């Protein structure tokens, strides 16, 4: 029985993370103004009752843009994390279970990718392919999957020597059945925690590419590109950069704490300590 | 456990705040202040100038005037001088020359100053000028076509230029920075340094920084500053902070939003001037939708030039009508173009058969939305602002604008992957209107990327090529602009107001309408 406090923390961060995800999904309905409509007479207004987070240099409501930005930033991150965790898990599971030449060749490929500095590689790829959220996601996916492949391969190597796997083999189960029904359920927790902890990093990397002009293109609101747009206004109209920056800060914080708490919750050693 | 949670949160919060403080302090500090040796100590006077306008991206790296736009750097930073220079009204007046004589429509005799020496020590005479102009004609990409020189004869302190055709604007073209006179016997060094006649000698020339020292034998009087460092800082915010922290003494190219930070007249001076640098869009006549003049006119009427200039450029420019600012006789006051009129634009689109039949907010025809690929580049910070502003205003009349703001824009131009190309150009770099038309709008123009053609414009251009009278040239320039505006082939958004921002103790640093003369003998720190 896990500690009630850990459970409460988990619940709290689950609720907060769900709130972020729901905001992203229902962004269009939640935004008080059309985020792409310009009103130059209202440019660079500070936070007020009408515009809670102020307006940008085009007179667009920043709260609406931050909310719509959640759709781009959070959903793109979700897609990216899903893509790399799935790809990495499949590759790692096959390599770990099958071994031999397949394992050796795929692991050397992953070594090559791991050797590159992640964001630099993504900048190069996004630079060649051109701007856009999809390209930014694919560029980051290309460099980020090996981490999961390594993780899952290690876990599978341990699990496949376990007695329950030997028993399944004796029972005549095929490799696919053993992997999917017996081994992967024992690996999935680690992948899940890593994926949630990665969410913040990936969100910042997508925002970073957009900040550099390689991610979301105007007028799509995205937190990184919004920060880039407000950069030259930081001394005169700081709300233009604080609003998207705060959104990134909160989202990354929530998902990091959620991953941390989930690890505490699922970690048997942590459980026994708390008991 | 709750206690543990609380204390952990505090630790995380404290760590984040510490990190934030470190980042802020790192951003504020760490910059080397500009050397403070001033007149008070009687030591070397050093002026550090931060600019966004120097380097390979601007095609003006180095100081060799016979290479691309590097002549701009030679003249801007006080190394090179031309035979004639522009006054504040953008009229050519003698500089290294003392006077000129038109022997006939094809022949010009130029008399040179007798007291000028190159920084190599050689005296400036007719032979030196001929050598330099011969090399210019052999190597430069634009000069031969502009100057149309058939023969140059040197005799003592005179040069006589004979043209292949009538070149009424020859004096203007000789005032272009590519016409900076350098000592060809001294040649061009590997680092693109040259021996000019200006108030400064380049000691070190790089792609990001030039170090200049005073020319002690300058013909034009005493040079007040001992040393000048021209430093490329392409990021506007870095430039802002460099001036705030005192790392540089003066700058050009600050983001408009930053100008508000330097309004304290006790600490800073700002020198501003209207220039002929125009932000304008060329329409691609290969795009089927844009072949309909009603669509082109609707686009022109759907752009809020006033809002762009007043709000997004913060008043650092004037809304444009035509290619030239109102300060020219053939400028904006003399031509007419449709103003911002979204309702009128919608009507024109409807007349052209573009209507929103599926309710998606964009007009369509034969099942296709009216989508415009707006190509531009971020090198001029005004252009992405214009693109995003246009995207919103054209959306309100039902046109879907896809912005592609990329440093790689030339490749997209080559591949034809664009419908409207927005760029910045100094439309009258020589004070004469012919340059803009010959470079951009005629069938033979290198930069007529949209393949615009008008028989009337071509005929007017031929008349201009033979007209020596400035009043007649101005009249023709008005007619030619009106033609391209009536055809909605080009849309002019704004003319730039250029500002130099400097510390209060800097004097003799004045913005010029030509955008050429920056570092001069008068530059001083008091």
pLDDT recorded at residue A145: 92
A218·B240 Cβ contact <8 A: no
CB contact at 8 A, B328 and B473: no
- Band of pLDDT at residue A100, cut at 50, 70 and 90: confident
Q: A241 with A234: CB under 8 angstroms?
A: yes
Torsions phi, psi for B520 (to 5 deg): -125, 175
Per-residue pLDDT band for A121 (boundaries 50, 70, 90) equals confident
List Cα–Cα distances, A194 to A197, A201, B332, B360, B383, in angstroms.
5, 11, 62, 41, 42
* Arithmetic mean of pLDDT over chain A: 89
Closest Cα of chain B to A122: distance in Å? Answer: 17
| Nearest CB to A218; choose among B5, B260, B391 | B391
Interface ipTM > 0.85: no
Cα B76–B77–B80 angle (5° rounding)?
80
Instruction: Report the candidate in B259, B244, B253 with the shortest Cα–Cα distance to residue B315.
Output: B259
Contact B261 A236 (CB under 8 A): yes
- Measured CA to CA, the distance from residue B129 to residue B110 in angstroms comes to 10
- For testing contact with chain A, the best of B10, B24, B241, B307 (most A CBs within 10 A): B307
Helix, strand, or coil (residue B356): coil
Please give the distance of CA A42 from its chain centroid, rounded to a whole number.
34
CB contact under 8 A, A236 and B237: no
3-state per-residue secondary structure call for A170-229: HCCCCHHHHHHHHHHHHHHHHHHHHHHHHHHHHHHHHHHHHHCCCCCCCCCCCHHHHHHH
Interface contact flag, A40 B304, Cβ < 8 Å: yes
CA atoms of B221 and B115, how far apart (whole Å):
11
CB-closest option in B258, B392, B403 to A232: B258
Q: Strand pairing of B268-283 and B490-503?
A: antiparallel
Cβ contact B236–A36 (<8 Å): no
- A125 contacts A139 by C-beta, under 8 angstroms: yes
* Between A218 and B19, residue with greater pLDDT: A218
A2 has a pLDDT exceeding 60: no
Contact across the interface for A213 and B405, Cβ inside 8 Å: yes
Q: Angle CA(A164)–CA(A169)–CA(A171) in degrees, nearest 5?
A: 95
The total of other beta-carbon atoms located within 10 Å of residue A90's CB is 16
Calpha distance A35→A67 (Å, rounded): 9
Of B258, B389, B403, which is closest to A217 when you measure between CB atoms?
Answer: B403
Does the pTM of the predicted model rise above 0.90?
Answer: no
Strands B524-525 and B506-507: antiparallel
Cβ-Cβ contacts under 8 Å, B311 against chain A: 40, 43, 57, 59
Residue of B260, B307, B387 with shortest CB distance to A40: B307
| CB nearest to B391's CB, from A219, A231, A235 | A219
Out of A9, A40, A236, closest to residue B257 by CB: A236
Cβ-defined contact of A5 to B387 (cutoff 8 Å): no
Work out the number of other CB atoms within 10 angstroms of the CB of residue A17: 19
- The nearest CA of chain A is from the CA of B362 a distance in Å of 14
Which residue does chain A place closest to B384, by CA atoms? Answer: A218
CA separation for the pair B194, B433 (Å, rounded): 31
Rounded Cα–Cα distance for residues A131 and A209 (Å)? 9
B258 with A234: Cβ contact below 8 A: no
**Whole-angstrom distance, CA of residue B195 vs CA of residue B214:** 13
Cβ–Cβ < 8 Å for A124, A206: no
For residue B482, the number of C-alpha atoms closer than 13 Å in the C-beta half-sphere is 13
Considering only CB atoms, which chain B residues are within 8 Å of A3? 1
Q: Which helix (H) or strand (E) holds B160?
A: strand B158-163
Contacting residues of A for B1, CB less than 8 Å apart: 3-6, 274
| Nearest CA among A200, A195, A216, A210 for reference residue A248 | A200
Query: Which residue is closest to B236 within chain A, CA to CA?
Result: A232
| Tens-level pLDDT at each residue, chain B (526 residues) | 444 444 555 555 555 555 555 544 444 444 455 555 444 456 899 999 999 999 987 889 999 999 999 999 999 999 999 999 999 888 899 999 999 999 999 999 999 999 999 999 999 999 999 999 999 999 998 899 889 999 999 999 999 999 999 999 999 999 999 999 999 999 999 999 999 999 999 999 999 999 999 999 999 999 999 999 999 998 888 999 999 999 999 999 898 888 989 999 999 999 999 888 999 999 999 999 999 999 999 999 999 999 999 999 989 999 999 999 998 889 999 999 999 999 999 999 999 999 999 999 999 999 999 999 999 988 788 899 999 999 999 999 999 999 988 877 888 999 999 999 999 999 998 889 998 998 899 999 988 999 999 999 999 999 999 899 989 999 999 999 999 999 999 999 999 999 999 999 999 999 999 989 999 999 999 9
- Report how far residue A172's alpha carbon sits from residue B497's, in angstroms, rounded to the nearest whole number: 81
Question: Nearest 10 degrees: CA dihedral of B352, B357, B363, B365?
Answer: -50
Q: To probe the interface with B, which of A4, A127, A235 has the most B CB atoms within 10 Å?
A: A235
pLDDT per residue as tens digits for the range A151-199: 999 999 999 888 888 898 888 888 888 888 889 998 998 999 999 999 9
């Amino acid at each position: 029985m896990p500690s009630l406090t850990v459970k409460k923390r988990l619940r709290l961060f689950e609720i907060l993370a769900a709130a972020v995800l729901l905001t992203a999904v229902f962004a269009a309905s939640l935004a008080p103004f059309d985020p792409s409509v310009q009103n130059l007479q209202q440019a660079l207004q500070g936070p007020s009752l009408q515009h809670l987070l102020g307006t940008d240099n085009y007179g667009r409501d920043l709260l609406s843009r931050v909310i719509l930005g959640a759709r781009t930033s959070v959903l793109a991150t979700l897609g990216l994390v899903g893509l790399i965790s799935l790809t990495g898990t499949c590759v790692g599971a096959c390599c770990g279970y099958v071994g031999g030449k397949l394992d050796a060749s795929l692991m050397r490929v992953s070594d090559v990718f791991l050797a590159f500095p992640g964001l630099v590689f993504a900048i190069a790829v996004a630079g060649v392919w051109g701007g856009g959220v999809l390209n930014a996601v694919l560029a980051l996916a290309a460099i980020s999957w090996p981490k999961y492949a390594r993780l899952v391969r290690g876990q599978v190597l341990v699990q496949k020597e376990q007695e329950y796997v030997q028993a399944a083999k004796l029972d005549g189960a095929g490799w696919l059945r053993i992997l999917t029904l017996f081994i992967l359920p024992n690996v999935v927790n680690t992948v899940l925690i890593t994926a949630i902890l990665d969410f913040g990093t990936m969100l910042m990397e997508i925002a970073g590419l957009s900040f550099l002009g390689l991610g979301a293109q105007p007028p799509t609101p995205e937190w990184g590109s919004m920060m880039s747009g407000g950069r030259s206004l930081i001394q005169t109209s700081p709300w233009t950069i604080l609003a998207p920056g705060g959104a990134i800060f909160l989202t990354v914080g929530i998902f990091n704490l959620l991953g941390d708490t989930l690890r505490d919750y699922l970690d048997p050693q942590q459980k026994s300590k708390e008991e | 456990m709750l206690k543990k949670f609380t204390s952990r949160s505090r630790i995380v919060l404290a760590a984040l705040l510490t990190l934030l403080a470190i980042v802020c302090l790192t951003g504020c500090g760490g910059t080397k202040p500009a050397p403070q040796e001033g007149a008070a100590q009687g030591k070397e006077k050093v002026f550090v100038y931060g600019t966004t306008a120097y380097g390979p991206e601007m095609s003006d790296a180095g100081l060799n005037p016979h290479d691309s736009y590097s002549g701009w750097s030679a003249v801007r930073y006080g190394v090179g001088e031309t035979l004639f220079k522009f006054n504040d009204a953008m009229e050519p007046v003698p500089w290294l020359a003392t006077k000129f004589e038109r022997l006939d429509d094809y022949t010009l005799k130029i008399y040179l100053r007798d007291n000028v020496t190159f920084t190599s020590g050689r005296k400036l005479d007719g032979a030196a000028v001929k050598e330099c102009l011969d090399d210019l004609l052999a190597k430069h990409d634009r000069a031969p076509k502009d100057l149309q020189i058939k023969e140059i004869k040197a005799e003592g302190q005179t040069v006589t230029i004979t043209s292949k055709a009538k070149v009424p604007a020859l004096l203007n073209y000789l005032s272009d920075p590519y016409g900076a006179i350098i000592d060809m016997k001294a040649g061009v060094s590997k680092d693109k340094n040259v021996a000019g006649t200006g108030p400064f000698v380049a000691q070190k020339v790089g792609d990001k920084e030039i170090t200049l020292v005073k020319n002690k034998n300058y013909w034009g009087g005493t040079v007040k500053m001992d040393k000048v460092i021209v430093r490329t800082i392409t990021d506007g915010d870095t430039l802002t902070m460099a001036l705030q922290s005192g790392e540089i003494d003066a700058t050009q190219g600050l983001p408009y939003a930053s100008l508000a930070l330097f309004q304290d007249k006790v600490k800073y001076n700002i020198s501003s001037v209207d220039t002929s640098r125009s932000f304008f869009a060329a329409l691609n006549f290969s795009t089927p939708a844009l072949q309909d003049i009603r669509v082109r006119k609707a686009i022109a009427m759907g752009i809020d030039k006033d809002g762009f200039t007043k709000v997004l450029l913060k008043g650092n420019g004037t809304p444009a009508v035509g290619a030239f600012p109102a300060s020219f006789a053939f400028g904006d006051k003399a031509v007419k173009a449709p103003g911002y009129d979204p309702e009128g634009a919608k009507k024109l689109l409807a007349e052209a058969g573009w209507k929103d039949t599926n309710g998606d907010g964009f007009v369509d025809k034969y099942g296709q939305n009216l989508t415009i690929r707006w190509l531009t580049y971020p090198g001029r910070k005004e252009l992405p602002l214009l693109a995003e502003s246009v995207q919103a205003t054209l959306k309100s009349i039902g046109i879907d604008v896809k912005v592609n703001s990329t440093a790689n824009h030339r490749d997209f131009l080559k591949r034809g992957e664009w419908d409207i190309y927005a760029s910045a150009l100094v439309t009258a770099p020589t004070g004469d209107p012919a340059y803009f038309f010959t470079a951009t709008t005629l069938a033979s123009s290198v930069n007529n990327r949209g393949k615009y053609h008008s028989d009337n414009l071509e005929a007017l251009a031929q008349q201009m090529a033979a007209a020596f009278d400035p009043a007649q040239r101005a009249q023709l320039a008005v007619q030619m602009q009106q033609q391209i505006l009536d055809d909605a082939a080009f849309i002019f958004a704004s003319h730039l107001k250029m500002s130099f921002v400097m510390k209060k103790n800097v004097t003799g640093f004045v913005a010029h309408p030509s955008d050429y003369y920056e570092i001069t003998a008068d530059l001083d720190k008091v």
